[in-house]
Structure 1
Amino acid sequence: MRPALQPGSGPVAAATYLPSTPDNVLWGRLPCATDEPALTVEPGTAVTLDTVSHEGILEDQGRDPATFFGRHGVTEVLDDAVALAASAHPHRFGVDGPHVVSRPVAVHGARVGDLLAMTVLDTTPRVPYGVISNRHGKGALAGEHPLGGAPVFSAFAAVSDDGGHGLLPLTPGAPATVRFPLRPFLGIMGVAVPGSVRPHSVPPGRHGGNLDIALLTTGSTLYLPVQVDGALAYVGDPHFAQGDGEVSLTAMEASLRATVRFDVVPREDALTRFGELVGPLAETTEHLVPTGLDEDLDLAVAACVRAAVALLQARFGMDPSLAYAYLSAATDFRISQVVDVVKGVHATIRKADFGS
């Protein structure tokens, strides 16, 4: 098993680095306007941020990652995970969310009405293992799983020797023979909300947050409407892999060292490129990815379709009726996740269809 990428050790891609010490993270809540930034950077700055997965440190897993992972033969766990679990960090299990997120990064010159562009430049796994869990009353099959009424089921997933696949057994205790590709990404990318109340880390919204869009891998960009001056951006909820839907409550959750570039898109430019965004918008090398969010999945789909029509109008001057027809013929609408209270849908509009 490969060694863990401990805080401050190994490659750090950017000149600016934010380790995930207990003082540098929030646990279960997202930043708001009154939070002091951990860093202030100029637009265009890349920052390398260590992230810590919540799996293995939560109270229903013992809040003791060395013991939890030791049961699976792991001899080295992350020092920052151990430090956070052992700290007096004010995490209220069952009240706060589970996720560990960075304290905010302020971006100089970002103003309300602008867009913050967060481009993922690198996602380096910090450990050679991860956890996929389900908890009582959660997930797409709440009431059916975990089997036997257990409060939590945690599946330990190893990483293959080539580092490209996750490994699971067919039955508990059997050798890990099921292989699936790893596509690391950050489940949480967001900006601070106005006011002095930190949002719960689970439901996503206009601020981004726990979007769990598996397309947000290296090379992708997330655009978010700036809600407070400086944007106060943050990341967390690292994944090694996730299927669209994330039906079991979590996917393969595991800690990453992520490098993200922060850019500001002024309001005038944003309106020309994207129209009036009412929520998060992603972009990959191949796709424009508008989103829809609602507790009702039908309404989330409808919101995503409206966002896609508005985007095609603004970006390409397309007639809305023709845009609606095009989306039906040519665009996949995917379920981002169904397990975060507010359900997510994202569309994949091929840029090549428009000569882009």
Structure 2
Amino acid sequence: MLLDPGTGPVRAATYLPSTPDNVLWGRLPCAADAPVLTVDPGTEVTVDTLSHEGLLEDQGRDPRGFFGAHGLIDVLTDAVALAASDHPHDPVVDGPHVVTGPIAVRGARPGDVLAITVLEALPRVPYGVISNRHGRGALPGEMPEGGVDVVSVVARLDPTGTRAVMPRAAGSDRTVAFPLAPFPGILGVAVAGDERPHSVPPGAHGGNLDINLLQAGATLYLPVQVPDALVYVGDPHFAQGDGEVALTALEASLRVTVRLDLLPGAQALAELGPLTGPLVRTSEHLVPTGLDVDLDEALRACVRAALDLLQARFGMDRAHALAYLSAATDFDVSQVVDRVTGVHARIRLADFDEPGAGQVTGA
């Protein structure tokens, strides 16, 4: 079943479709961008997102033709409309991602922290694409093999809609299937100034974090950079392994419902510490992050962010906090393919007997 704009289940009373007028392609919002929607803090918004796979110029900018060549005739109308429009997108200088927004959150100001809680992530299509292209990914110059510039693997959902089935490789009789775990790879706030950032590298604004823990029930905390925050959602994934080594995960369009809460600066400082970049909370973990073009430096930044968080939230001195992190916390590679690499740590809430551990509400 396709979830075309305005069809099928829409969880929130406020709905934002991914029509060409409501999206940016290859760039992220900045302070100079006008919002396509304005809401009060605490509002739930259902946002349609579009995968870039099947829309890109090296795929013909023709999703009907691209997916038709794989035997798929059901294609989202908004994907067709964007590809056929004169929406600006230059693959030489722009990123690939389509982002929906920006959404203004009334009253948000620099110094505050915006909390974006993912409430639901529904597949809009029964298939997705995993790509390796242009010598990128974790093995540039080595993969793709044989001088091929782009490899696109199209996986279909099984009859239960809970697993993706990859096509069999030539000469193989084995089927590979894996569970869906949908989440938006891009969640963010606008940056200051009048220049839209490239959509690929993540940063303090969030953006292309590709942290697969941001599934339904998780919250992303971001320091607000411009008045009204200007939130956006994109890069929808059906599933992704930590690292995202091929260049993309299982990319496919989602209908994502988020709640947009606002933490005033003083409250955020007391509860989260001096937050300078993205922080995730799930029902089980606090997840500080580190971002840098150098993966070693990204790890070090993540350790420092974790120390700041443990000191502010639980009153730990840094020596004991570092000892705890070494003994009890996993540091995972979020992704290594987005120019700026990412590391995230999983600090167990249960280790601190924190009230509300197991729930995701506010901070």
Give TM-score scaled by structure 2 length. 0.96
Question: In the alignment, which residue of structure 1 is the partner of 2:235?
Answer: 237
CA contact (8 A) 2:153 2:167 kept: no
Mapping 1:177-326, distance limit 5 Å: 177-326=175-324
Question: In the alignment, which residue of structure 2 is the partner of 1:104?
Answer: 102
1:176 and 1:12, CA in 2 relative to 1: closer, same or farther beyond 3 A? farther
Partner Cα distance (1:349, 1:64) in 2: 44
> What secondary structure does 2:308 align onto?
helix
Give yes or no for the alignment of 1:76 onto 2:77.
Answer: no
Residue among 80, 85, 99 paired with 2:83: 85
Partner Cα distance (2:102, 2:338) in 1: 22
Shift of 1:169: 3.1
Q: One-letter code of the match for 1:28? A: G
Deviation string for 1:275-302 (max 9, x for gaps)? 1011000000000000000000000000
Deviation string for 1:221-267 (max 9, x for gaps)? 00000000100000000000000000000000000000000000000
CA contact (8 A) 2:154 2:167 kept: no
Q: One-letter code of the match for 1:326? A: Y
Q: One-letter code of the match for 2:81? A: A
Give yes or no for the alignment of 1:28 onto 2:35.
Answer: no
Partner Cα distance (2:338, 2:61) in 1: 22
Q: One-letter code of the match for 1:60? A: D
Give yes or no for the alignment of 1:62 onto 2:60.
Answer: yes
CA contact (8 A) 1:136 1:149 kept: no
Q: One-letter code of the match for 2:227? A: D
Question: In the alignment, which residue of structure 1 is the partner of 2:360?
Answer: none
Shift of 1:175: 7.0
Question: In the alignment, which residue of structure 2 is the partner of 1:328?
Answer: 326
The CA RMSD over aligned residues, in Å, is 1.0
Partner Cα distance (2:213, 2:121) in 1: 13
> What secondary structure does 2:146 align onto?
helix
Partner Cα distance (1:266, 1:303) in 2: 25
1:19 and 1:335, CA in 2 relative to 1: closer, same or farther beyond 3 A? same
> What secondary structure does 2:35 align onto?
coil
Q: Which runs of 5+ in 1 are unaligned?
A: none
> What secondary structure does 1:352 align onto?
helix
Give yes or no for the alignment of 1:48 onto 2:50.
Answer: no
> What secondary structure does 2:291 align onto?
strand
Partner Cα distance (1:277, 1:211) in 2: 16
Shift of 1:103: 2.1
Q: One-letter code of the match for 1:21? A: T
Shift of 1:172: 4.1
Give TM-score scaled by structure 1 length. 0.98
Partner Cα distance (1:17, 1:174) in 2: 44
Partner Cα distance (1:62, 1:175) in 2: 31
Q: One-letter code of the match for 2:332? A: R
Deviation string for 1:104-132 (max 9, x for gaps)? 00001111100000000000000000000
Q: One-letter code of the match for 2:281? A: E
Partner Cα distance (1:160, 1:304) in 2: 37
Give yes or no for the alignment of 1:157 onto 2:169.
Answer: no
Residue among 4, 14, 17 paired with 1:16: 14
Partner Cα distance (1:327, 1:170) in 2: 42
CA contact (8 A) 1:97 1:200 kept: yes
